[in-house]
Amino acid sequence: MSNCSRCENLPAEAPESGVLYVAPPLSHTRGTLRRLLWGSGLSFGDPLDDVLAVEVCPDGLSNLSDTLLNGLTEAELKDCRAILVEKGTQINLGMLPRMQDLFTLLSYARQTWLKKIMREEKLTVHFQPIIAVSDPGKVFAYECLLRGIGERDVLVGPDSMFGAARAAGLLYNLDRAARIKAIQEAAGQGIEENVFINFNASSIYDPAYCLRSTMKAVKESGIPSERIVFGVTDSEEVRDTVHLRNIVDYYRRGGFGVALDDLGYGSLDLLAQLRPDFVKLDMGLVARAPYKASIARKLIELAKELGVTVIAEGIETEDQYRWVAAHGADYAQGHLFARPASPPPTPARVDL
């Protein structure tokens, strides 16, 4: 079985100029598109009743993206099918695989900075320690946190990169690159503790196929599988719990641990169904809304009843640390102990 070409290779760049064919599903959307195109002075026609053909000049796709992304809702843009081809190209059935929703097509055109980072492999990893609550000087694990290296070597955070990747249809590519980079740098740093690596379940179709390169990287790294924990970060967005369970089972068959990030009431069904090895509870929520402390307490109690190890993350104050220690969290993570860094930082000793 070959590796996943979709995950490993960025999509081919669209022509710099040509004709953008757009098929809006509703007459209302089609009318709005017409008004936006007229207002922008762009030339367009109607080769079919339900299709608009927009002439795009060199470097004009970026300006068109600004116009349409600001003038239509994301839902409207995602309902429009689109393809950009060189002028004079005859449309045929062989082009169907290249068609995509208009939102993704336009977003991909805009994310030049992200594509540059990914094409040039300007990715690095920072590490944040996870410490034992009962012994804060002892590092239990390091979580791998992706960073991009932008212009003038300015670091780009994961939220910016993954948000842009999701919009531009590059989530599969970035998520795979992040997993492999985390494995390689953890090995390169000689980390002897456990290693937590995040993944987006929505970026994986078939784990046996999509995760082949990840498993290869693990084997080449020399890190024992029992010291690696894969954490699902988008559990609140997962609708197909059977699919997520298949991914979790695949990791477990490989000898890896599994973590569920951002535990909340919306994740309770998943907690019961998946029975992960670890759950991560964000204490920042408690700090912003004190009444949620009672909710956090109940979540910890439920996890403990199910035999799931609890990691309290986002610990920034000694009061938060004392709270999680008093209410049964097993491990803690946050700026109080150390900020993410490379090489892996030694946590500050904080006494209860």
Global pTM reads 0.89
What the block records as the tokens of 29 is: 């959307």
Helix, strand, or coil (residue 287): helix
pLDDT digits (tens, 9 = 90+) for 249-272: 999 999 999 998 877 666 677 787
pLDDT digits (tens, 9 = 90+) for 315-347: 998 988 998 999 999 999 999 999 999 999 999
pLDDT digits (tens, 9 = 90+) for 83-125: 999 988 888 888 888 899 999 999 998 888 999 999 999 999 9
Parse the chain into domains and list their residue ranges. Answer: 5-110, 119-332
> Angle at CA 36, nearest 5°, toward 31 and 39?
125
Confidence (pLDDT) at 1: 44
Q: Measure the CA–CA gap between 180 and 155, rounded to whole angstroms.
A: 19
Report the topology of domain 119-332. Answer: TIM Barrel (3.20.20)
- The helix or strand, by DSSP H or E, that contains position 32, with its residue range, turns out to be helix 27-40
Cα separations (Å) of 15 from 19, 46, 89?
9, 21, 12
Would you say 51 and 81 are in contact if contact means Cβ atoms under 8 Å apart?
Answer: no
Q: Measure the CA–CA gap between 327 and 130, rounded to whole angstroms.
A: 17
Q: What's the alpha-carbon Rg for the chain, to the nearest Å?
A: 23
Q: Does domain 5-110 have CATH number 2.60.40?
A: no
> Do the strands 155-156 and 257-260 form a parallel or antiparallel pair, or are they unpaired?
unpaired
